[in-house]
A and B are shown apart, each in its own frame.
Chain A
Amino acid sequence: EAGVAQSPRYKIIEKRQSVAFWCNPISGHATLYWYQQILGQGPKLLIQFQNNGVVDDSQLPKDRFSAERLKGVDSTLKIQPAKLEDSAVYLCASSFPGQGKHLYGYTFGSGTRLTVV
C-alpha cells in the first residue's frame, strides 16, 4: 500500500515570500491533516479535513496560512507571506473516518522541511 506522499521534501524561501506544499493521502482515507513540527517539538495540528470539508482549523494562522482539499483527495497548504518563525517541518497525515480507538490507519507522510531566511 502506498503511503502518504508529500512534496517538495525541502524548501528554502526568503521571508515575505509565498510557498505551497502538496499532499496525496492514502487511497480511501477520507480524513486528512496538516501538522507543523518545529525543531525539538512534537507535531502540532494545523487543520483537519473530512473529505473536502474543514473539520478543525482552530490552530491555523489564517492571516497567512490557507489550505484546501477541493476534490476530497489531494490537499495543498499555502503560506503567504512567510515569516522566519514558520521554519518547520510540515507533515501531512490521513486516516479512515471514525476509527476512534483503532488509530492504526493514521499514517503520516515524511513531511516538507521549510526554511525561511
Chain B
Amino acid sequence: LAKTTQPISMDSYEGQEVNITCSHNNIATNDYITWYQQFPSQGPRFIIQGYKTKVTNEVASLFIPADRKSSTLSLPRVSLSDTAVYYCLVVLTGANNLFFGTGTRLTVIP
C-alpha cells in the first residue's frame, strides 16, 4: 500500500483558493489517487479521483505531476461550508477497500 502524507491542518479565509498537497512516493503503476471529504458527524464523501495530469469537476480540481509522487487538491473560492477533513488516498485498480490516513483538517475563516 502506498503511504500518503498530507498536512495535519490548514486555515483559509472565505473566498480564497485552497490547495492541499499530498505526497505518495511509493505509488504503484495501477494506483489511482482519490480524495474524500468528511464533515463533522458524517461519513466521508467522495470528491475527486485521478490517475495523472489534471481532473476537474464541479467541486474541485486535482493536479497530478508526471511522476505521480504527489497530488494537489484545489478548492476554488472556499466558503465556511468547506470546513471539513480532507483525505488523500491511493487506491489500487480493482480494489474495493479504502485506507485512510489522518487527513487534513481545513478550517475556513470568515
Residue numbers of A with Cβ under 8 A of B are 4, 31, 33, 40-45, 48, 55-56, 91, 93, 95, 97-101, 103-104, 106-111, 113
Q: Are B101 and A108 in contact, with the CB atoms below 8 A?
A: no
B29 CB–A CB distance under 8 Å: no
User: What 1/0 flags go to B82-110 for Cβ under 8 Å of A?
Assistant: 00000100010111111111110000000
Contact A108 to B96, CB < 8 A, known contacts A42-B101, A101-B49? no
Residue from B95, B96, B97 having most chain A Cβ neighbours under 10 A: B96
Chain A neighbourhood of B95, CB < 8 A = 100
Pick from A41, A103, A110: contact of B43, CB under 8 Å: A110
Pick from A40, A42, A93, A110: contact of B42, CB under 8 Å: A110
Q: Are B41 and A108 in contact, with the CB atoms below 8 A?
A: no
Count of residues in B whose CB is under 8 Å from the partner chain: 23
Chain B neighbourhood of A98, CB < 8 A = 94, 96
Residue numbers of B with Cβ under 8 A of A are 32, 34, 41-46, 49, 51, 87, 91, 93-103
Further 5 A-B residue pairs, CB within 8 A, beyond A104-B46, A108-B45: A55-B96, A91-B44, A97-B96, A99-B96, A103-B34
Chain A neighbourhood of B34, CB < 8 A = 103
Pick from A41, A108, A113: contact of B44, CB under 8 Å: A108
Q: Are A43 and B46 in contact, with the CB atoms below 8 A?
A: no
